[in-house]
Amino acid sequence: MTNVPTPSRDAARTWAILCHLSLIISAILSAGILAFVGPLIFWFLYKDKDALVRNAAAGSFNFAVTLVIASAVATILQFTIILAPVGWIIWAAVYVLGILFPILAALAASRFELYKYPLTLPLLS
């Protein structure tokens, strides 16, 4: 168990917002491959401390892993001539949703609301 103190209400909101926005930041810094690292660190530190931060970290992690899997499927589809356009559509969706949903989630966290990312694999809770 870590020695991270229980955050105050405003600090928890800030950490939850950063959990969601870490998807966009890490996607820019690592070309989307390591987008799950930031939320995973937050989840390990705050999973037993604050429900808002735990929900934000778990949701962000699950969404990041889902986006990585979708990108891998799109990459595989690029090897076929017939399905290459489907891969392009998947990449476009990953790009747009990878920006849109973390922003919506950060806005929800700023209102102290729990946000559930749509179409995600439930890996962490």
Predicted pLDDT of residue 63: 92
Global pTM value: 0.84
Give the pLDDT of residue 17.
92
Do 120 and 59 meet the contact criterion of CB atoms below 8 Å apart? yes
Per-residue pLDDT tens, the chain, 125 aa: give them.
455 556 688 888 998 998 899 888 887 887 767 777 778 888 888 778 888 888 898 899 999 889 889 999 999 999 988 888 999 999 999 999 989 999 999 999 999 999 999 988 888 77
SS3 2: coil
Residue 80's pLDDT is 87
Angle at CA of residue 37, ends 34 and 40, nearest 5°: 150
How many Å apart are CA 125 and CA 61, to the nearest integer?
Answer: 10
Are the C-beta atoms of 37 and 27 separated by less than 8 Å? no
Q: Closest by alpha carbon to 115, among 28, 39, 44, 54?
A: 54
